[in-house]
Amino acid sequence: MRILPLAARRRPPRPHEEGHAARRVTWNGPLEPAGEGVFEIPASYKGRNGDLEMRVPGRIVCDDVLLPHIQDDEAPEQVANVATLPGIVGAAWAMPDIHWGYGFPIGGVAAFDPDEGGVVSPGGVGFDINCGVRLLRTGLQAEEVRGRLKETIDALFDVVPAGLGGKGGTGVTDRDLDQILEEGAVWAEEQGLLDADDRRRLETHGRVDGARPDLVSERARVRGRRSLGSLGSGNHFLEVQAVEEVWDEDAAKAFGVASGEAVVMIHTGSRGLGHQIAQEHIQALQGRARFGIRLPDRQLACAPLGSREAEEYMAAMAAGANFAFVNRSLVAARAADALERVFGAGRPTVVYDVCHNIAKMEEHVVEGRRKLLCVHRKGATRAFGPDHPELPQAFAGVGQPVLVPGDMGRQSFLLAGRGTGPGSRAEGPFASCCHGAGRRMSRTEAKRGVSGGSVVQELWDRQGILVRATSPKVAAEEAPQAYKDVGQVVGAVERAGLAARVARVRPLGVVKG
């Protein structure tokens, strides 16, 4: 495997409008308090006027402060739509960073029982399969990095490709690509991009089983070869951060972070390869009438679990997820090279790596019985509690690390998962948590109302945060005011019992696509 050299400076690619613009129609449907930190859309909401009935209620993790933001667009209607799908159990859930998405809302969580006609829906995973976050400990002190900040961020910007169409510069053969799609981070470990201890700190150890490279089209492969080892655009980033405050010393020690240290957070996914897989399977399922499933929204196109279509999507999705683990491993390796050149320090090591957009077969308790369910998390993070058997021994008694990025002007959080959430029955969101702050302005709105150049300058002048973006428009799209306050979002999931705060980090410098 060859990592090809990159030009010292890249020509910024043209910006684009990533995803779907927020629907600025205030939602006036029912949202009733349903326990600590949870509001409910009753199952009786739909089924009137001839529309499809909800099979379960919709539940949104939220508080009174965030409620107006959540009602700002029609994402709650998408929660209600998901609740109409066959075989759904418990409730259709959404996290407090919810906003409008494709079919499912971003921030949506839903579980389907294959024994009850449950389905898999590519819209419940999203286009960027296994978009996720990796956190690295650098072994450096934050003040040491701050003293050489411009040199550090310039070095990272030079070696980590970013932006729409950003090319990874990684030469992989067809055989390499097949191994990447099937083995994920196992391949990365064999290439020396990370070691065995690091790989154990990736969700599912960096490999989703059941992947079939033969189901990944040539078009997806071409897009994957072009983008492997790159950040991408939109909200994807590489951020050098300072651990500013630690609340749980025992958990922080288990995770390997301490106050005053510098860490690196990487947010990217499967890039064009995952997008192509999603697009092809959504289009194929939208053309299938044989299942006879009525849908309130064609973007919820789905297939019954166990059907050929469902199995092929799950196998292709697993291949996309494995690609994303390798993509983050390559970005991390390039970041490590840059930090070594600047500081002469040892290689960074992995704190944890979490998926945001994925569907997995997991065991959960439903109405007192343990069931194997297909859990969709779209813009939501797995948050297994202490002593879950799938977690590394290092996290025993602590819980899974949950990485929650904010925006480039405010804090991010490291949490510890608490498991199911309110109680241990099906009313909990299947060991899930928020994945970030969540947008409160669409990218179009942000670009219309914010100057990217001003955002970058103000972050430097007022907070000493150095931002390198591939274009001023990208900086405008990602302005702090375009996002909810991640502190409020984290407070909501903590009150709901989904996760507990371990540490807060703040940005020192940011590379944006």
DSSP 325-388: HHHHHHHHHHHHHHHHHHH--PPPEEEEEEESEEEEEEEEEETTEEEEEEEEEESEEE---TT-
Instruction: Judge whether residue 14 has pLDDT over 50.
Output: no
**Domain harbouring 236, CATH code:** 3.90.1860.10
Q: Please determine, for residue 13, whether its predicted confidence score (pLDDT) is greater than 60.
A: no
Q: Between 477 and 133, where is the model more confident?
A: 133
Look at residue 330 and tell me if it is in a domain.
yes
Q: Which of 99, 205, 376, 435 is catalytic?
A: 435
Give 172's pLDDT tier (boundaries 50, 70, 90): confident
In whole angstroms, what is the distance from residue 469 CA to residue 453 CA?
10
Instruction: Give pLDDT tens digits for 260-287.
Output: 999 999 999 999 999 999 999 999 999 8
Residue 21 included in any domain: no
Contacts of 274 (CB under 8 A, 6+ apart): 127, 128, 129, 130, 131, 320, 321, 323, 324
Q: Are 458 and 401 in contact (CB under 8 A)?
A: no
In a domain, 487, yes or no: yes
- CA 29 to chain CA mean position, Å: 28
**pTM of the prediction?**
0.92
The percent of residues above 90 in pLDDT, for the chain, comes to 71
pLDDT digits (tens, 9 = 90+) for 353-366: 999 999 999 999 88
Residues 78-117: tens digit of each pLDDT: 999 999 999 999 999 999 999 999 999 999 999 999 999 9
Flag the least confident range among 150-164, 384-398, 442-456.
Answer: 442-456
User: How many domains is the chain partitioned into structurally?
Assistant: 1
137 belongs to a structural domain: yes
If one compares 422 and 260, the residue with the highest pLDDT of the two is 260
Question: What is the predicted pLDDT for the residue at 396?
Answer: 87
Summarize the confidence of residues 413-441 as an average pLDDT. Answer: 78
Which of 302-306, 348-352, 365-369 bottoms out in mean pLDDT, i.e. has the lowest? 365-369
Residue 29 covered by a domain = no
Please report whether residue 324 resides in a domain: yes
pLDDT band per the 50, 70, 90 thresholds, residue 125? very high
What integer is the mean pLDDT of 402-420?
A: 92
pLDDT given for residue 332 in this prediction: 97
Specify whether 435 is catalytic. yes
Average pLDDT over residues 392-403: 93
Residue 103: which domain range? 2-15+35-512
Mean pLDDT of 142-162: 94
449 is a domain residue: yes
> Looking at residue 483, what is its pLDDT?
83
Model pLDDT, residue 184: 98
Highest mean predicted confidence (pLDDT) among 95-104, 170-179, 284-293: 95-104
pLDDT, tens digit (0-9, with 9 covering 90-100), for 495-511: 999 999 999 999 999 99
Please write the tens of the pLDDT for every residue from 53-81: 999 999 999 999 999 888 888 999 999 99
Does residue 256 lie within any of the structural domains? yes
